Structures are given as structure tokens and as C-alpha cells.
Chains A and B, each alone.
Chain A
Amino acid sequence: MDSILSVKDVSFYYGDLKILDSVNAEVERGHVFGIVGPNGGGKSTLLKIIAGLLKPAGGSVSFDFRNGVGRSIGYMPQHASVNWKFPIKVLDVIMMGSYGELGLVRRPGRREREVARRAAERMGVEKFMGRHISELSGGQQQRVFIARALASEPELLLLDEPASNIDSESQDMLYELIEQLRDELGLTIMIVTHDLMVIPKICKQVACVNRQVYVHDRPDNITCPVSDEYLGDHKEIFLHGEIPHRVVRRKDGG
């Protein structure tokens, strides 16, 4: 497998509480990697470790980027941790994506503005460039934050619940855009989601995270809770960790 990311034996604690326990995963280049699991299971923590926001207690995270130097990671946090009252226009928000590559001191110029404009166009938010970020709808804001992540010209894009707090129409549009990013830019995308229906549609690999991590290469493993067999008219609840990794299937009306 051509891996862009290898997670080896990664553990993480919040205080004494073990959040991740010896996590191993290989992420295949140029595909979408879904991360599912119950709330508090460690999905966002895993993504934050990969983004470099948290340091694991043990284990290692290594990348194999093709574009040479740098981290080449674009990150969109869950419920973007931003100061919504901050006086800033959408264009300036997107340009922030280029700050990492610029490094300290250097200021964004024409090139960064152009990269931001292209990212905005790709995410369909170019008409909002002069607006304040808080004036946009939830779906538009999410697209702005993905555009900001794209402005860092990444090879690996990390999206933490990008479809939360937005209506279903915007969700569909978002998933289409994610597929476009994969196909047209060749990005590897890791996406944390609760939307199990979308997993078989766009993901090649799926990790079920609940303290431990189970990676499934769709559709090889039919016991995976997100395989086609379990979708359709059924809903799945999957449980991991203390309880053996399995799928509880609940039929309609029963």
C-alpha cells in the first residue's frame, strides 16, 4: 500500500483517562479515509495528534509527503475554534491557510491572495470574500474553513466533522466537493463523521475509533459496520472497546 501516513502504537491520555490505546493505522495516498465511532471515543483526538495539536504519550506518527519539505497538512477543526467576533473578512480568513508556509515575519502577498482566491472558487465561496465570517450560514462557514485548509496547499486534508451543524442539502454539496478534491487535486482526505451513509460512498478505508482503532478496507471486510450490506434501509450502531468489535443491526420497526 502506498501510505501517506503511518500511525504506530499511538496512545494518548487526558489526565489519567486513556483516550487512545496502541493505535495503528496506515492511510492510503489519494483516497478518503473515514473515521467513525461514538462520542468521546477519541476520533477528534486522533485527528489532533495527526495535525500536531496534541502530543501522543507513546508511539509515532510519520508522513510520506511527495512535495518535499513541510508538513503539507490542511486541518479543519470541529466547530472551528474561532473568535467569531473578530473583525475579519472571508478572504483574510482563507489567506490564513498560507501563513504556515510563509513562516514567521513574511507577509502574505499577491501569490497568497491568488491561492486563497482559487481555494475559495473551488469551495464555491468566492462571492462571500468581502463578507464577515459570522454573516455566513453554517454550511458556507464550513466551506470557508475547508478553503482555508486548501490555501495551505496540502497533500493531506484533515476534516473534523465537516458536516455537523449544517442542513442535509449543504451536506450533500460538501461531500461532492470532498470527492472533487480527491479526484481533481489528488488529495488524501481524513474525515471524521457521524454520517454512516456517506462512508461507503466516498471512503476507501474506514477506521472505527473507540479508544482502540479498527481499520477496515472497504469492501473487503463485510463485518465492517459501514459496508454496503449494512446500509440501505438499516441503521447501525457499532460498539467497540470494552465490548468486542461488532455491529448491532437494528431493522426498521424492530
Chain B
Amino acid sequence: MEILQYTFMQRALVVGLLISVLCPVISFFVVNRNLGFIGVGIAHAAFGGMALGSFLGVDPVSASVIFSGASALGIARVSRSKRVSEDTAIGMLFSAAMALGVVLIGLKKDYTIDLFGYLFGNILAVTRGDIITIAVMGTVVLIVVSVFFKEFLLLCFDEEYGQTLGLPMVPLYYLLLVLIAITVVLAMKVIGIVLVSALLILPAATAQMWFRDYRAVIIVSIVISLCTVVSGLFASYYLNIASGASIVLIGTALFLVSGFFKIRRRRKIETSLETGKRAAS
């Protein structure tokens, strides 16, 4: 294939494949712990972090991870204290972090940041260093998830019961938020800050329509994510559109088609049940 000869496309595909494994695993917990909106907040905080890193002359990815991780913990702390509701905390942080990012980028004289690329994804921007960072940090995230997998299951299914077993459910919740923050930053180059939260929701939400066992949901989410990201990258190249937008639109289309067939199947079952009842009476 012609496009695979281009180095930037090879890099984009490698990064795409890496985040296609990472995002659905995290997506499973985001969907089942109702963390979708927190995911959006964390993604926007990552933008502020990236701008701060760039302004201070430190690595923007590391700055983003620290800034968005700290923001996630802040949201969790504030919402758990019950003084401010969670969506209020996220709403405030979301806009404040974006505003900070815009101000800092504006203040920086040698303006070199590809703002549109960070916001909506740019496959041309993926560097060799990005691949290494995403591979290493993504592996770390997956190892941590695998180590605490049973605790995260409990966190999503019945946190209160976990507490009665003496497990540290609150620190585990914070840990999950930090893992989400890292995943958001890693996926930022390809998907973009504004759209990354979709990849934290769509794969598991689509798979969960059809499967009722967490193992199947996670495996199918990964398959869905791989199809979505790879086809999105190709669409981005051929149609010359932002990669994040094409990936998210394909993912959303998959979700809607899946939902359509699910509803049709349910109606079919209901109709056959009614027919059976009528025949019996």
C-alpha cells in the first residue's frame, strides 16, 4: 500500500495500534464507573498541562500527565467531600485549564505549538520519541491495571462491599483516575484533546451492548478500537481531515449501527414472545 511507505503514516499506525489496546481497557472502567465526564475534564486539563510545560520549557507530555493527574485527584477529592458536586467541579476545572492553556500559549513569544493538532489530532505530528513514550507508559498503565484488576472490578461493581472487605477503595479510585489521566495524554497526539474522551467511552459502550461478561467486553472493545483507529487513520490520510475527528466519527457510527441492530433484535424477540403467548392462549 502506498500510504504505508510514508514514515509519518507508519508512526501514526504504530501509535494507533498502541492506543487501540490501551484505551479500550481503560474505557471499560470509565464506562462502568460512570467516569465519562471526568474523562472529558481530565482531557481538557491535559491541554493546560501541555501549555504549562511548553511555557516553562519542560517536556509537555510529562507536564500534561502531572497536571491532568493532579486535576483528576482534585476533582475526586472535591466531589467526595460533597461540598461541591462532581459535575460542578469538572465544569469549573475544564474551562479554567483550557483558559490557562490559551493564556500561556499566547504569552509564549516563540509560538511553535500546533494548537489544532493538539485539539483534534494530527498524525503528521507523531515522532519517534512519541512512539517510545506511548509504548513505555502504555505498558506501565496496562501492568498496573492487570495488577489491580480484581480491585478495579470491585470498584466498578460494588465499591461499598470492597470497603467491608478491608480493601483501600478510595486510594484505588484515585489510582484509576491517574491511569485515565495518563491514557488521555498518551492518546492526545492522534485523537486530540477535545475528542480523546470518545475513545474512553465508545469501545466499551459498544461492546457492552452485546456481551454480559467483563472478559468478553474487554476483548471485543479492543477489536472495536483497533478497527476504529486504523480505519480512522486511513480516512484521515485519504480525506485530508483531522485524525481524531475521523476516528471518533467512525467509532460513533459503529456504536449507532450496533445500537440499531440491538434494538431490532430485542423487538424481534419481544414479537416472537408475544406470538408464542397468543398461540398458547
Contacts and interface: CB of A to CB of B under 8 A. Distances in A.
Interface string B131-165: 00000000000000001111101101111111111
B164 A83 contact: no
B164 A105 contact: no
A159 B263 CA distance: 38
Contact of B163 (A53, A82, A87, A132): A53
A89 B157 CA distance: 11
Contacts of A108: 150
A53 B160 contact: yes
Nearest to B32: A86
A207 interface: no
A96 B157 CA distance: 10
Interface string A106-133: 0110000000000000000000000010
Contacts of B165: 97, 99-100, 152
Interface in A63-106: 71, 73, 75, 77, 80-83, 85-89, 92-93, 96-97, 99-100, 102, 104-105
A52 B166 contact: yes
A208 interface: no
B158 A82 contact: yes
A95 to B, nearest CB: 9
B9 to A, nearest CB: 36
Contacts of A81: 158-161
Given A83-B156, A83-B158, A87-B208, A52 B164 contact: yes
A189 interface: no
B266 to A, nearest CB: 15
Classify the secondary structure of B's interface with A.
helix
Contacts of B151: 99, 104
Contacts of B214: 86-88, 92
Contacts of A102: 150
A53 B164 contact: yes
Interface residues of B, number: 28
Contacts of A20: none
B157 A83 contact: yes
A189 to B, nearest CB: 15
Contacts of A152: 165
A252 to B, nearest CB: 41
Contact of A96 (B161, B168, B212): B161
Contacts of B116: none
B217 to A, nearest CB: 5
Given A77-B161, A81-B161, A107-B149, A87 B213 contact: yes
A178 interface: no
Interface in A34-72: 51-53, 71
A62 B157 CA distance: 29
A108 B149 CA distance: 11
B141 to A, nearest CB: 16
27 contacts: A52-B166, A53-B160, A53-B164, A71-B166, A75-B161, A77-B160, A81-B158, A81-B160, A83-B32, A83-B157, A85-B32, A85-B208, A86-B156, A87-B214, A88-B157, A88-B212, A89-B213, A92-B153, A96-B158, A99-B162, A99-B165, A99-B167, A107-B150, A108-B150, A132-B213, A148-B161, A152-B165
Nearest 10 pairs between A and B by C-beta?
A: A100-B165, A132-B212, A75-B164, A82-B158, A86-B157, A81-B160, A51-B164, A87-B217, A87-B214, A87-B212
